[in-house]
Amino acid sequence: MDRELIIEKTKEFVKSKLLGEASGHDWWHTYRVWKNAITIGKKEKVDMVIVELAALLHDIADYKFNNGDASTSSKIVEEWLKGLNVDKEIITKVNDIIERISFKGANVKTEKFTNEYAVVQDADRLDAIGAIGISRVFAFGGIVGREIYNPEISVEKHDSFEQYKNSIQTSTSINHFYEKLLLLKDLMNTKTGKSLAQNRHSYMEEYLNKFMDEWNGKE
């Protein structure tokens, strides 16, 4: 099966699974990450088949909606790509990216291990910040039952992925900006990703300043 057909079939497969999902991890999130990955990948000169497949499949079974189990995704991805007769080496590389792509906590270091991984992670992180990122924070918060903000709940910089995962139920949507989203600009891997993140980061800062003014009764 040729490259374009594999990508097209994968796109339709993911769309059929995620369209209408309400947490901000829906098909249109995947679509934007895919487009971001193409933009960044072409400038970074990487293997675009691996990049596009990883971008399209990265949220097919997010751990946040599978009781924290990241292995569900790998099984789905492997079964799907095998069915398209994709080379085993490509399947392994795609799954390696998907398994490592998630933010693990402010104090947890993750190293770039391939250029393709760097591109897909940057593409995903770009969709977590800026105007769209703000919208997704509150969509996700509503789904998992987070408060919008509670000044009695402190911001935490998590030391492990386990701590970070557990904070889904105990943190607030506004805290999430400080626990993750405002950190992403400086965690971008590629020159292109860093450049694209600047304006989105600034927009979030402006939004948070306005939010706090209104929270405190200021104009």
Buried/exposed code over 14-28 (b: 16+ C-beta within 10 A; e: otherwise): beebbeebebbbbbb
**pLDDT at 108 (0 to 100):** 83
Non-local (6+) Cβ contacts of 203 within 8 A are: 130, 131, 134
Closest CA to 114 of 134, 95, 131: 95
Number of domains in the chain: 1
pLDDT mean by block of 10 residues, the chain; 219 residues: 91 95 93 97 93 95 57 88 95 93 84 90 97 97 95 92 85 96 96 96 98 92
**pLDDT at 167 (0 to 100):** 85
**pLDDT at 74 (0 to 100):** 87
**pLDDT at 110 (0 to 100):** 78
* Domain boundaries, position 173: 3-215
The two structure tokens encoding residue 214: 């209104």
Please give the full DSSP string across 139-182, using - where no structure is assigned. Answer: HHHHHHT-BS--TTSPP---SSHHHHHHTTTTSBHHHHHHHTGG
CB-CB contact of 125 with 197 (8 Å): yes
For residue 168, give the CATH number of its domain. Answer: 1.10.3210.50
